[in-house]
């Protein structure tokens, strides 16, 4: 980089990621120093993986959803709060935390399923229901007024 323009390479943070079919092993040298190769790194808050997978990002979004949900657990688990209000809280706080950064990416069915399972667990917990109650997911979604994730 041209230091006359105020641009310098940070020698501590430099690394490279090789994506695509041609992922042959090799080294890159910058001057006399070798640049380490990584299999994933964070870019603009999202995790980019060598195999173009989204597993790490989906896992991070699920963790963010549970963190958001814990902030409002006192309200969403209170039996005195109406079910529709719980659904609105879910739509305003939980769903955006889940989908942030995933809106424009293609996910595998298994990744979509993980997101849906986490969402349904939260909604059931908020209603005081378990899987043993044998209430279908569609009924739970309708009770709280939340549309299914894939709709």
Residue-wise pLDDT for 41-100, tens only, equals 777 767 777 766 678 888 888 998 898 888 888 888 899 999 999 999 989 988 888 888
* Residue of 90, 58, 60, 59 lying closest to 73 (CA atoms): 90
Residue ranges per domain, the chain? Answer: 53-144
Reference 143, options 94, 92, 81; nearest CA is 81
d(CA 134, CA 109): 24
Angle at 137 between CA 133 and CA 143, to 5 degrees: 90
Q: Of 68-82, 90-104, 105-119, 135-149, where does mean pLDDT reach its minimum? A: 90-104
**Global pTM?**
0.70
Cα–chain center distance at 42: 13
């Amino acid at each position: 980089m041209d230091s006359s323009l105020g641009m310098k390479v940070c020698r501590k943070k430099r690394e490279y990621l090789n994506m695509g079919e041609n992922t042959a092993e090799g080294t890159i040298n910058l001057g006399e120093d070798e640049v380490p190769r990584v299999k994933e790194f964070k870019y603009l808050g999202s995790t980019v993986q060598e195999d173009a997978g989204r597993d790490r990002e989906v896992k991070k979004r699920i963790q963010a959803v549970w963190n958001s949900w814990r902030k409002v657990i006192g309200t969403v688990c209170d039996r005195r709060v109406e079910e529709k209000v719980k659904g609105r809280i879910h739509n305003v706080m939980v769903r955006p935390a889940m989908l942030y950064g995933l809106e424009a990416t293609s996910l595998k069915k298994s990744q979509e399923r993980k997101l849906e399972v986490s969402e349904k667990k939260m909604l059931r917990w908020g209603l005081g229901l378990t899987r043993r109650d044998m209430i279908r997911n569609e009924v739970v979604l309708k009770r709280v007024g939340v549309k299914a994730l894939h709709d």
